[in-house]
Each structure stands twice: as structure tokens, then as C-alpha cells.
Amino acid sequence: MARVKGGPKGHLRHKKVLKLNQGYFGSRHLLFRRAQEARLKSMWYATRDRRMRKRDLRRLWIVRINAAARLNGLSYSQFVYLMRKANITINRKMLADLAVRDPQTFAAIVAQAKAA
């Protein structure tokens, strides 16, 4: 059976992959097979890390809310419980932003949660 090499289409595909890998170290931007491996691995990492970013940000928000809540005499878990009981629905992202940028408003929210 004759060998099929791909011709012009194969050359274009190789060029496309090598162009995507500009700036990679060593043979990962020079050799097609190594470049293809590097590209597949990088896409896998990118997919995984898009999910991880969400986890990391939520963790950061919780740490910031906990620190601000402790300044107001509550732990994070007590604060979340009191907020749910007071029917205050502000997400963690907004609470963390308030805790960092506007401590007075955060203290007012804590007071409102305590009062309920």
C-alpha cells in the first residue's frame, strides 16, 4: 500500500500548530510532534484551570468574609447562619468586595444580621 503524507494540507496543519506554540521552550515550538503534545497538554490544563479558578476565588472570598466578620465579633459560619436567618441574600463575591472596600457597610450588614 502506498504511503500517504498529507501534502499541502498537512503542511498547513503543521504550520498552524507551530504558530500556536510560538514562545514555547525548546523543541516544543520547533518540532511538530512535540508541539502537538505541548498544545494538547496546554489545552487540558486550560480546561482544568478554568474550573479551578472558580474554586480558588470562592475560597478567597470566604477568607475575606471570615476576616471581616471576626472584626465584627462573629465567625464566618455564624455570620452565614445569621444572614440566612435574617433572609439577607448577598452572594459571597459581593460580601467579600464590601468587606475589603467598604467596611462600614459590611458592619451594617453584620448588625442587621445580628438583629434578626
* Cβ 35 vs Cβ 22: under 8 Å: no
Q: Which CATH number fits domain 8-115: 1.10.3720.10, 1.10.1900.20, 3.40.50.970, 3.40.640.10?
A: 1.10.1900.20
* CA–CA gap between residue 47 and residue 40 (Å, rounded): 11
**Stretches in the chain below the pLDDT threshold 70:** none
Residue 3: the pLDDT is: 85
Residue 2: the pLDDT is: 85
Q: Phi-psi bin for 2: left (phi > 0), alpha (psi -120 to 50), beta?
A: beta
Distances (CA, A) of 46 to 5, 17, 59, 63, 67: 31, 17, 20, 25, 31
Length of the chain: 116
- Domain locations along the chain: 8-115
Residue 5: the pLDDT is: 81
